[in-house]
Amino acid sequence: MIKISLFLGGIAIVLVSSRQVFLMFRDGSFRARGNRLILRNAHPMIFWMNFVGLALFGVVGVALICWQLLT
Q: Please give the residue range of the domain that contains residue 31.
A: 8-70
- Region 40-48 average pLDDT: 91
Give me the residues paired with residue 29 across strands.
39
| Residue 61 in domain | yes
| Residue 29 in domain | yes
What single-letter amino acid sits at 68?
Answer: Q
pLDDT single digits (tens) 12-38: 999 999 999 999 999 898 888 888 999
pLDDT at 1: 87
Instruction: Give, rounded to a whole angstrom, the gap between the first and last alpha carbons of the chain.
Output: 14
For the chain, the domain total comes to 1
- The model carries a pTM of 0.83
Give me the chain's average pLDDT, please: 92
| Residue 18 in domain | yes
Distance CA 47, CA 45 (A): 5
| Residue 1 in domain | no
Distance CA 59, CA 28 (A): 22
| Residue 3 in domain | no
Examine the pLDDT at 55 and tell me if it is beyond 90.
yes
